[in-house]
Amino acid sequence: HLTGCVAFTASGHVFDPLIILPSKKTLRTLEEFSNIAYFGSSNAGWMTKGLFTYFCILLICQISHYRLTLDDSLKNERFLLIVDGHKSRENFTALLLLYLFNVDLILLPSHCSHLLQPFDVAVASPLKMFFKDELSTDNCDLYFTGQGLSKQSTQNLRRSLIRAFL
């Protein structure tokens, strides 16, 4: 299991994602992704309050750099971050950091993103379709070795999943 967290602007700029892996996974095997993604871990590979704070710090740094590329009339405008209502968002430190760096947070109610058509149609559905296509191209779980099918190692499977997400 892995959790991918990625933020993007309405104009299409995509910030480097945070990928959360189960804590038993070693990050040293993922050095090939060091310049295009950030990594974190939790017991099960899910978002936690601490990891949400980490994500906010990473995002604030990237937004601060991105602001430098904007027209002077836009540099100091507030950003709007729309996230689901997961429990990890109930986090004073993360919310304070976002506020201090001119990022407003909108929490969508839990378990309703499937009802919010703009998100599903514009983001989630194409991402899932592209992810599946990338995995099948990479032959994710099974691949031909010339001697038939054989299982991919866990390390290679994790690399395939991350490559497909990125």
Model confidence band, residue 146 (pLDDT cutoffs 50, 70, 90): very low
30 or 62: which leads in pLDDT: 62
What are the pLDDT digits (tens) for 2-41?
788 889 888 889 999 999 988 766 667 778 888 889 998 8
Those residues with Cβ within 8 angstroms of residue 147's Cβ, 6 or more apart along the chain or in another chain = none
Supply the pLDDT for residue 82.
87
pLDDT higher than threshold 60 for residue 143:
no
Q: Specify the residue for token string 């590329």.
A: 69
How far, in Å, CA of 9 to CA of 15, rounded? 8
Instruction: From residue 2, give the alpha-carbon distance in Å to each of 35, 46, 148.
Output: 19, 7, 28
C-alpha radius of gyration, the chain, whole number:
18
List Cβ neighbours of 156 (8 Å cut-off, separation of 6 or more): none
For residue 166, name the pLDDT band (cuts at 50, 70, 90).
confident
84-97 mean pLDDT: 91
Please compute the mean of the pLDDT values over residues 120-147 and round it to a whole number. Answer: 64
